[in-house]
Amino acid sequence: MAGIDFDTVAGTKLYIADEAPSAQTAAAFASLGWVEVGQITSVGSVKGREYSMSTLSTVSDAQDRERKGSFKLPNAEFECAWAEDDEGQMMVEAAANDYSVPSFKLVKQNGDIRYLTAQVSKFVENGGTSNDAVKGQFTLLRQTDTITA
């Protein structure tokens, strides 16, 4: 039996750009000025949709029927080693403190690229115990479907 070919998250990089693309295309995103968000330790989900359920309960046959309703773009949770002098982390923190919608680029281990826009809903410094590294945690509220390049 042959082995299963797969990628890992190792080597994944996250970038941020202050501006929005002129169009929702890979070429428009690629033309932005990107800054790496340094020392990422955990990568959030940046692709896919999450659907609500619509339920119809009919009395005559006592059956509940469900269908997909509206959807949302799930939040993406990231962690990083806390680095107050990292330009990318400073940009994430600035976006967390206002209502801007920056652009993000995720470059995966195999070179695949994911582009999206998102608001940063939080950027916090985590605590822990004496053996824990100081980390930051931030949440991206995705505003657009992810573009794959």
Q: What is the per-residue pLDDT for 92? A: 98
The C-alpha atoms of residue 12 and residue 78 are separated, in whole angstroms, by 12
Q: What is the DSSP letter of 31?
A: T
Q: What is the per-residue pLDDT for 128? A: 86
The C-alpha atoms of residue 76 and residue 66 are separated, in whole angstroms, by 27
User: At 70, is the pLDDT very low, low, confident or very high (cuts 50, 70, 90)?
Assistant: very high
Burial of 134 (0-12, 13-18, 19+ CB in 10 A): exposed
Do the beta carbons of residue 106 and residue 12 sit within 8 Å? Answer: yes
Q: What is the per-residue pLDDT for 1? A: 53
Among 3-12, 48-57, 99-108, 128-137, which stretch is predicted with the lowest mean pLDDT? 3-12
Q: What is the per-residue pLDDT for 127? A: 86
pLDDT in tens, 1-43: 567 888 889 999 999 999 999 999 999 999 999 999 999 999 9
Is the pLDDT reported for residue 78 higher than 80? yes
pLDDT in tens, 82-123: 999 999 999 999 999 999 999 999 999 999 999 999 999 999
Task: List phi, psi (to 5°) of 56.
Answer: -120, 120
In CATH, the number for domain 14-51+66-148 is 2.30.110
Q: Where are the domains of the chain?
A: 14-51+66-148
Structure token pair of residue 89: 């982390």
Q: What is the DSSP letter of 98?
A: S
